[in-house]
Amino acid sequence: MTKQRRLPKRAFLRVWTADVSLTPDRFENIIDIVVRVSHKRELADSMRRKRIGNVWLEEYVGVGSISADIYLISIHGQGEAKVIAYQITMGSGSSHDTPKTIYISVAGKRQKILFSRYCSSKDILDLLAQAAGVSQESRMFLKDEDGSLVVIAPTIPVNTRQSAYVLITEDVKQSPVGDYTKLMAIDHCKEEIAKVKEHMSHIEDDRTAKTVLSKKLKDIQKAYIRSVNPTYTKYIMSQETLEYLKKPTFDVWYWATNEMMCLLEQIYNELNLVKTFNMDPVVLRRWLNRIDQSYRNNPFHNFRHCFCVTQMMYGIIHICDMRDKLSIIDMVILITACICHDLDHPGYNNSYQINAKTELALRYNNQSPLENHHCAVAFQILSDPDTNIFANTDSATFSSIRSGIILLVMATDMAKHTENLSAFKCNIDKFDFENKEHLHSLMKVMIKCCDISNEVRPSDVSDPWVDCLLEEYFIQSDREKAAGLPVAAFMDRDKVTKPSAQIGFIKFVLIPMFETLTQLFPQLLEAMVMPLKEALSRYEVMPIDNKLTTVEKIIPGDESSTTDNVIL
């Protein structure tokens, strides 16, 4: 079995094989992992090898940005083992992998732990288990000098010998039965949720079955959310990470889901939203869990996209010193709207919803069916006391937060692009931050910028997003072709290429919109407009492989059109 995945310039590759006869001594005989690059067999001889348990962690350096089939492990003189799964952790293509050092204290003894910033949390746990001389199944906790729990992850802040973290180990087998059962219950819920979601994706047309399954899904999700450990853990991140989080250069691929949740939590804390709105920290974590659960595993419209949009908003807030200009209510609206803006996105756009006459299109009378749905899901989650982060907010304030979030999420419909951008342009010359209409026009453009901001990011971060977007487009267009529905050329695998998808989008949508925002916030010129212009130049020198005879251009604003993207 072969699996294909784009490899970044530098990556950690973790490979699992199905060959049960691969006993540790036979691992010693593995001579290489063969990576096929553009149908050419190349030996990835720059890999450094390290075995962790029955899993191989490989550092793959210097091949560049390529597509690769990882298809076998050769075993010296003993044939081949097929790769059944692998995981790639992306890292920055430019930075050197100098190991990180932390000091821990185990049973009063200091130890130095070295690990790569590109390794996984599990790898660090394995190292800690080794240091403590306990089994890898043991539960381990790290506490800092204040007794706060420290998250065991590659982002763990470095410390000194004097401020060594205390490692506490707990043998799972000796844990109270209740706890152990609880962990199993969580796993069970997760499995059930995945099963029901999978089932639902196969019964698009059977509305009754879907309703039954939706109800079941809600019940399981509720059980899951309740089972999430209500003990609040104080997460600690290095100052370096916290500053990096405010930058558009932030590597959004580096973080696992729980780490993204932790970073979102950090955003709520850093912007003083938790304190101001008296949010219960446990409810905030439950809410973030529920948000993650409510994004589907689409190639593009997934929880990582939600994270990216929110992180870009956080970046803009800092770069433009928005806190001096907007109210705290506006802040909570901006951040919460970003988090909720694509909730339960089915992976098929509004054109598909309308043309296929889906339940969503029927429910919302063809009027921005997706955006209406994202809002409805958002407020359904907030209506549950277990996940209502605004439970302690007075009803008048909640009312304005609610209408603000709806306003912003609805503005992310690209069919309303021209309308929203024009409204803001009319206000720019005489912009008044005290004027509600002016302010709303600005906030709409801000969320729109964040929503489509991938090309503002460095190329090794933005590039995989284009693959993800095209993958989702192709799934839709294949389905449309099979169902005899209209297919937009920009979504058609036979017509679109990466540069053809991006050149028009950057030139006609991104640069004009970011330049407009820059008129009000000149700081954005260097931070966002310049990177966009660089991205455009990069795409312009790429061979277009001109499958499209026309220039791709998004013409939002044509409300009569059933499509949010139109080919000129």
Size of the site for ligand LQESDW3C (CB under 6 A): 13
* Binding partner at 387 among ligand LQESDW3C, Mg ion, Zn ion, none, C-beta below 5 to 8 Å by kind: none
Q: Quick one: CA torsion of 345, 346, 350, 353, rounded to 10 degrees? A: -150
Residue 451 assigned ligand-binding role: yes
Residue 302 assigned ligand-binding role: yes
Element containing residue 61 per DSSP (H, E): strand 55-61
On whether the CB atoms of residues 81 and 31 are closer than 8 A, the answer is no
Closest CB to ligand LQESDW3C among 10 and 444?
A: 444
Q: What is the CA radius of gyration of the chain?
A: 25
For Mg ion, the nearest residue by Cβ is 342
Give the active site residues: 301
Residue 502 assigned ligand-binding role: yes
Report the alpha-carbon distance of residue 337 to residue 342 in Å, rounded.
9
**Non-local CB neighbours of 371 within 8 Å, separated by 6+ positions:** 409, 410, 412, 413
CB of 341 to Mg ion, least distance (A): 6
Site for Mg ion in 324-343 (CB under 5 A): 342
CB of 341 to Zn ion, least distance (A): 5
Which residue among 123, 330, 342, 564 contacts Zn ion (CB under 5 A)?
Answer: 342
- Asked if 452 touches ligand LQESDW3C (CB under 6 A), the answer is yes
* Binding partner at 505 among ligand LQESDW3C, Zn ion, Mg ion, none, C-beta below 5 to 8 Å by kind: ligand LQESDW3C
The 8-class DSSP code of residue 368 comes to S
Which residue among 44, 414, 511, 517 contacts ligand LQESDW3C (CB under 6 A)?
Answer: 414
C-alpha closest to that of 89 among 15, 31, 180, 174? 15
SS3 assignment, position 519: helix
Residue 386 assigned ligand-binding role: no
- Asked if 356 touches ligand LQESDW3C (CB under 6 A), the answer is no
Closest CB to Mg ion among 287 and 300?
A: 300
Residue 300 assigned ligand-binding role: no
**Non-local CB neighbours of 168 within 8 Å, separated by 6+ positions:** 140, 141, 142, 143
Closest CB to Mg ion among 88 and 338?
A: 338
On whether the CB atoms of residues 399 and 392 are closer than 8 A, the answer is no
Report the alpha-carbon distance of residue 357 to residue 491 in Å, rounded.
19
**In 484-529, where does DSSP find H-type helix?**
498-504, 511-520, 524
Per residue, the 3-state secondary structure of 118-177, as one string, reads CCCHHHHHHHHHHHHCCCCCCEEEEECCCCCEECCCCCCCCCCCCCCEEEEEECHHHCCH
Residue 179 assigned ligand-binding role: no
* Binding partner at 251 among ligand LQESDW3C, Mg ion, Zn ion, none, C-beta below 5 to 8 Å by kind: none
Per residue, the 3-state secondary structure of 222-283, as one string, reads HHHHHHCCCCCCCCCCCHHHHHHCCCCCCCCCCCCHHHHHHHHHHHHHHCCHHHHCCCCHHH
CB of 536 to Zn ion, least distance (A): 21
The region of 10-18, 168-176, 269-277, 451-459 touching ligand LQESDW3C under the rule CB under 6 A is: 451-459
Residue 10 assigned ligand-binding role: no
Closest CB to Zn ion among 9 and 448?
A: 448
For ligand LQESDW3C, the nearest residue by Cβ is 505
Site for ligand LQESDW3C in 462-501 (CB under 6 A): 466, 469, 501
- Asked if 344 touches Zn ion (CB under 5 A), the answer is no
CB of 466 to ligand LQESDW3C, least distance (A): 6
Site for Zn ion in 448-477 (CB under 5 A): 451
On whether the CB atoms of residues 60 and 47 are closer than 8 A, the answer is yes
Binding site for Mg ion (CB under 5 A): 342, 412
- Known binding-site residues for Zn(2+) equal 305, 341-342, 451
Binding site for Zn ion (CB under 5 A): 342, 451
Binding site for ligand LQESDW3C (CB under 6 A): 342, 412, 414, 451-452, 454-455, 466, 469, 501-502, 505, 565
